[in-house]
A and B are shown apart, each in its own frame.
Chain A
């Protein structure tokens, strides 16, 4: 068969047959689009191409037979009006729908919401206040989405502890983040109030607020345990572990566990974490191993609503989902236009 003919034949085939043929030939074929599959198959050496052609012939004949049989059956049945989509796409998984029919959102409706809010005086969210208040008598874990304002909790907690003449340690998983936070805190509290510790440098190590990576803090705790205290750990009142979802990092996660286990009992722990699936496990764990209670604050809702758009390579912009805002735990249905355009993309990607 000629190269172009083969290409056309393959492209006309439903994608499931392509996957069938790709099995054992193309690594991880199931994650490739139709176009890419065809491309890869055509790149095979000639003997493989021959094998593919024979398979293709087989598929085509069986398909024709099946289609013919189907037609014969359809002719014998009264016609059913078909929805325009079902011809192309599999129907979506049926979910029981209650209440009146919900029309799909339009692009205009989605774009209308975009804009800049009027500036408002800063009012802390209830969960933020709650976190700061509980730190007075317990450890606190905050699990909230990115961008919801966990830094505010850290800053208020630092203020509270510094007012009591306590030392505060703030750790982040990355040097880059430590540097950013160091600059931010220096602006906020003044250069003499903030110090930074790295593997080979100590800047202003006598300051009441110290910024470092979690590894450095773990090392400090080990030194303190063996009696080589060179920092005022007895005045340590608060330890903030930012981005503590790193506890699950395959290589470095153990450092967070060591730090928490070794953390002196008089110091409060404030764990700030992005949304995770089991924050209550973390809370129960802290509760079990620390002498003071642990309060969990789980704030799942995004502060700024999020909306989805689908941008087709031709430049067409359509809503991604049927609903306006992206919500958690409610399932999802793609917008019909997205479905249609994406199906087109899978068949013949745009160049």
Chain B
């Protein structure tokens, strides 16, 4: 959607107020291209002198980067001094535009916000037309950091006395988000540490388990987990303080004793003992699923209002408030994420399980959640311990009825047991935070052991030795394919095609080319392996159109870039990125030249054929 103001008018207004050069951020690539198209029929030309300067620059530039020579946007750039710059373009084109901008020859560049991070071209003015961006199917508000990244492009040191940010409304705008973003502080950053298979293999290659535990403890992830656990520790200390009046009485652990007694008393009414058949994972989760806890459900985030057991099956259930403010009930096993965020409130016994104003507050909290939240690592107990209480209930007699502390215990039990439960929960959280990373490492190591990449005592096997050199996404799929010799005797083009479809994780639609039969059967095989690995590694999209595209580029060395691009509906820049990524994957396979010389040769010849025309312009 273009900005509500006509792009030509926009540029003329900017020119009139000496606000050029400007970068205009639009929501989509298409919006950028369409904005440029509107200039073709306008009279917003530049002086012939500057047009000439641009022409000269581009002429010189095409000597190093021939791919720019016949770019369809060149006439508009030369005549009107405006250009589009987004991921759909070739890197060479983007470099040209950036350089023209740096030399002050352009009046405006229409760009997408995704590009703001990382590319180095400033201007006097930045035009913002939106307050949210599309991130995987959904619109999310721009963060303060992102807005400041955009606005930061305005005002060049040494060339401008002041920078200007111009906001012009489009249907995607909320003025307050922009006001807050421009004047607020940038958000703190959070670690995004994930343990991957190559990481485990490479660490095990050079370090002992003890050393690895030390290395993981050095991560920023652990640093932040420790920060969080120290907050919980403070809380725990407070609770322990509150628990001091409830120390030992006639019996040392009177709370447990009374709990057992209480249970036994009530159990008399029941005919059948209560049996739970929760999974160990669910059991490990339950202590965290308390009122106020933020959780992820398949439909989105929610805050727990109470936990209870269903009447019939005695399954653990939750009452929750969802993002829209609706109340709901759901089984505890449907919880997908347990976040490390607790909204304290006073639970009540009747619907809606808390004070109405709390409900409003919780709804507000839910609407303001940041995009990413830390989760509580859940550590399921490995061996099932029988509930010791249950055993006691059934076997022992309780001294309580005749004990002198009976009245005191009866009075204090509700509060004391609640405090103690809380303390236990906090201890568990702290434990989980401290051990989370190591636990994740072990999970990955277990999988690698299962597949035979490492031995029972954590040494690399012969397969592990070479598999550690594949340090890319979907590494497990690739190494498994190599082990089952799926690629033996394969043509270079075919190998590249398969690698392309493994590497490509963009679902932006492309065209469906005719699949060569060899590629089709190969992809079927790869898909089957990927599906069988899905419990251990999320399968790639494995699109066959991109495989066919890459296969044709390598299978037919006479094919020109222009006709390759013409054969697909993908944008030129996307085709380039696809090939560049495939090159990266192939080069990792080429790295196996010692153990798999034949395969490495195939990969190498694919790489050599691949690097022609545009693909050899840049390192």
> Residues on A close to B: CB < 8 A?
23-24, 28, 31-33, 35-36, 110-111, 113-117, 119-120, 145-149, 172-177, 179-180, 182, 196, 198-201, 203, 215, 218-219, 222, 225-227, 243, 245, 247-251, 253-254, 257-258, 260-261, 274-278, 281-282, 284-285, 288-289, 302-313, 315, 317, 320-321, 325-332, 334, 338, 342, 345, 349-351
Q: How far is the CA of A308 from the CA of B122 in the complex (A)?
A: 16
Q: Is the CB of B168 within 8 A of A146?
A: no
Q: Is the CB of B471 within 8 A of A219?
A: yes
Q: How far is the CA of A225 from the CA of B204 in the complex (A)?
A: 10
Q: Is the CB of B189 within 8 A of A36?
A: no
Which of B183-208 touch A at CB < 8 Å? 183-194, 196, 199, 202, 205-207
Q: Is the CB of A332 within 8 A of B145?
A: no
Q: Is the CB of B220 within 8 A of A247?
A: yes
Contact of A282 among B183, B220, B471, B619 (CB under 8 A): B220
Q: How far is the CA of A248 from the CA of B194 in the complex (A)?
A: 12
Chain A residues with Cβ under 8 A from B343's Cβ?
Answer: none
Chain B residues with Cβ under 8 A from A175's Cβ?
Answer: 91, 580, 618
Q: Is the CB of B158 within 8 A of A117?
A: yes
Mask, B452-489, CB within 8 Å of A = 1, is 00000000000000001001000000000000000000
Chain B residues with Cβ under 8 A from A145's Cβ?
Answer: 148, 152
Chain A residues with Cβ under 8 A from B165's Cβ?
Answer: 306-309, 320, 326
Q: Is the CB of B132 within 8 A of A345?
A: no
Q: Is the CB of A306 within 8 A of B149?
A: no
Q: How far is the CA of A32 from the CA of B220 in the complex (A)?
A: 39
Contact of B159 among A116, A180, A278, A325 (CB under 8 A): A116
> Assuming the A-B contacts A243-B118, A248-B189, A276-B188, are A307 and B163 also in contact, with contact meaning beta carbons closer than 8 angstroms in the complex?
yes
Chain A residues with Cβ under 8 A from B119's Cβ?
Answer: 176-177
Does B533 lie at the interface of the complex (its beta carbon under 8 Å from any beta carbon of A)? no
Chain B residues with Cβ under 8 A from A321's Cβ?
Answer: 179, 183
Query: A261-B218, A302-B155, A351-B4 are known contacts; what are 16 more A-B pairs with Cβ within 8 Å?
Result: A32-B171, A117-B158, A147-B122, A147-B152, A176-B91, A222-B202, A245-B189, A254-B194, A257-B193, A304-B157, A310-B168, A311-B10, A313-B4, A327-B183, A328-B183, A345-B4
Does B588 lie at the interface of the complex (its beta carbon under 8 Å from any beta carbon of A)? yes
Q: How far is the CA of A179 from the CA of B224 in the complex (A)?
A: 34
> Assuming the A-B contacts A147-B157, A305-B162, are A248 and B190 also in contact, with contact meaning beta carbons closer than 8 angstroms in the complex?
yes
Q: How far is the CA of A69 from the CA of B184 in the complex (A)?
A: 42
Chain B residues with Cβ under 8 A from A349's Cβ?
Answer: 4, 169, 171
Which of these binds chain A: B11-19, B311-319, B332-340, B554-562? B11-19
Q: How far is the CA of A331 from the CA of B9 in the complex (A)?
A: 32
Q: Is the CB of A275 within 8 A of B148?
A: yes
Which single residue of chain A is at the shortest CB-CB distance from B218?
A289
> Assuming the A-B contacts A248-B192, A304-B161, are A176 and B94 also in contact, with contact meaning beta carbons closer than 8 angstroms in the complex?
yes
Q: Is the CB of A308 within 8 A of B588?
A: no
Q: Is the CB of B168 within 8 A of A313?
A: yes
Does B250 lie at the interface of the complex (its beta carbon under 8 Å from any beta carbon of A)? no
Q: Is the CB of B155 within 8 A of A305?
A: yes
Contact of B152 among A28, A146, A199 (CB under 8 A): A146
Does B153 lie at the interface of the complex (its beta carbon under 8 Å from any beta carbon of A)? yes
Q: How far is the CA of A274 from the CA of B202 in the complex (A)?
A: 31
Shortest Cβ distance from residue A3 to the other chain B in the assembled complex, whole angstroms? 21
Shortest Cβ distance from residue A115 to the other chain B in the assembled complex, whole angstroms? 5
Contact of B5 among A113, A277, A308, A313 (CB under 8 A): A313
* A/B interface sample: 16 pairs, CB < 8 A: A146-B152, A179-B618, A200-B607, A226-B468, A247-B191, A261-B215, A281-B224, A311-B168, A312-B5, A313-B3, A313-B5, A313-B169, A315-B5, A315-B13, A321-B183, A345-B169
Q: Is the CB of B189 within 8 A of A196?
A: no
Q: Is the CB of A284 within 8 A of B139?
A: no
Contact of B221 among A28, A257, A304 (CB under 8 A): A257
Chain B residues with Cβ under 8 A from A303's Cβ?
Answer: 155, 157
Shortest Cβ distance from residue B15 to the other chain A in the assembled complex, whole angstroms? 12
Chain B residues with Cβ under 8 A from A31's Cβ?
Answer: 132, 139, 172, 174
Q: Is the CB of B206 within 8 A of A225?
A: yes
Chain B residues with Cβ under 8 A from A330's Cβ?
Answer: 183
> Assuming the A-B contacts A304-B156, A330-B183, are A276 and B189 also in contact, with contact meaning beta carbons closer than 8 angstroms in the complex?
yes
Does B306 lie at the interface of the complex (its beta carbon under 8 Å from any beta carbon of A)? no
Which of B215-244 touch A at CB < 8 Å? 215, 218-221, 223-224, 227
Q: How far is the CA of A57 from the CA of B152 in the complex (A)?
A: 49
Shortest Cβ distance from residue A235 to the other chain B in the assembled complex, whole angstroms? 20
Shortest Cβ distance from residue B496 to the other chain A in the assembled complex, whole angstroms? 12
Shortest Cβ distance from residue A111 to the other chain B in the assembled complex, whole angstroms? 6
Q: Is the CB of B175 within 8 A of A342?
A: yes
Chain B residues with Cβ under 8 A from A331's Cβ?
Answer: 183
Q: Is the CB of A306 within 8 A of B151?
A: yes
Which single residue of chain B is at the shortest CB-CB distance from A303?
B157
Does B435 lie at the interface of the complex (its beta carbon under 8 Å from any beta carbon of A)? no
Chain A residues with Cβ under 8 A from B148's Cβ?
Answer: 145-146, 274-275
Q: Is the CB of A315 within 8 A of B9?
A: yes
Q: How far is the CA of A118 from the CA of B513 in the complex (A)?
A: 58
Chain B residues with Cβ under 8 A from A250's Cβ?
Answer: 192, 372
Q: Is the CB of B18 within 8 A of A114?
A: yes
Chain A residues with Cβ under 8 A from B218's Cβ?
Answer: 261, 288-289
